[in-house]
Structure 1
Amino acid sequence: MIQFNKTLVTDDELPWEVVDPKIKRKIMSYNEDIMLVKVAFEKGGIGTTHKHPHLQISYVASGAFEITVDGESKVLKEGDVYFIPSNVLHGAVCLEDGILIDVFNPMREDFVNTPNP
């Protein structure tokens, strides 16, 4: 069963999960239908090309990223957004230290059921 996270969340109460030496994330809140994740990248960090069945929309909160979706690449910066349909290959390269805010539908069970590396 999917556990429902808190409804009122402050950033400082949540720990970072190290995904890679240049990438860390916080799962801010979720239920089985939706999840919001804050992902911090250092310059040079790579979100490797992958796909998943979830819908994803991401907001560039800071920094600059080269985002590739279905073979098309574009540099996005603070204030920009990208949308990932289900099962479409996508990835990111961090060009300047930055933060992405990722929203998934449904929630990413693999994020909460996978132990930290």
Structure 2
Amino acid sequence: MSKQDNTLHFGDVAIQILSNSDELTLAELVLPAGAVASVHQHPHEEVNYVVSGVLDFMCDGEVTTLRPGEAMRVPPNQPHNITCHPEAPGVVLTAWSPSRQDLMAVLAK
């Protein structure tokens, strides 16, 4: 993981924090074509809205393909990940509630 300004990099995935409060964090995720985010889970509710690209969202073992204009909710503590289709990069707006103070702490270092 590396950081630059308000952007964190987890492997190939760039996460730019757009807004943060006590209750909500909003970020833009940029995934190169073919990128796969590692399976992870956290105690935050998450909503993903696809801006561009075609992405497979795996949540608790089920895969849903989303295209621009589509969204998906990930409940707290559910294993999940994102895979970007190989034809084009993907951009996703992601909101977490409560806020991702863990990510903010990394940015503050």
Normalising to structure 2: TM-score of the pair? 0.85
Aligned structure 1 segments of 4 or more residues deviating by more than 3 angstroms: none
Map residues 1-117 of structure 1 onto 2, 5 A cutoff.
Answer: 15=5, 17-95=7-85, 96-115=88-107
SS at match of 2:64: strand
Structure 1 portions without partners, runs of 5+: 1-14
Structure 2 portions without partners, runs of 5+: none
SS at match of 1:114: helix
Query: Displacement, 1:115?
Result: 4.9
State the structure with more CA Rg: 1
Task: State how many pairs are aligned.
Answer: 103
CA distance 1:18–1:34, shift in 2 (3 Å): closer
* Aligned Cα root-mean-square deviation (Å): 1.9
% same residue = 25
SS at match of 1:47: coil
2 CA distance for matches of 1:51 and 1:38?
Answer: 18
2 CA distance for matches of 1:80 and 1:70?
Answer: 19
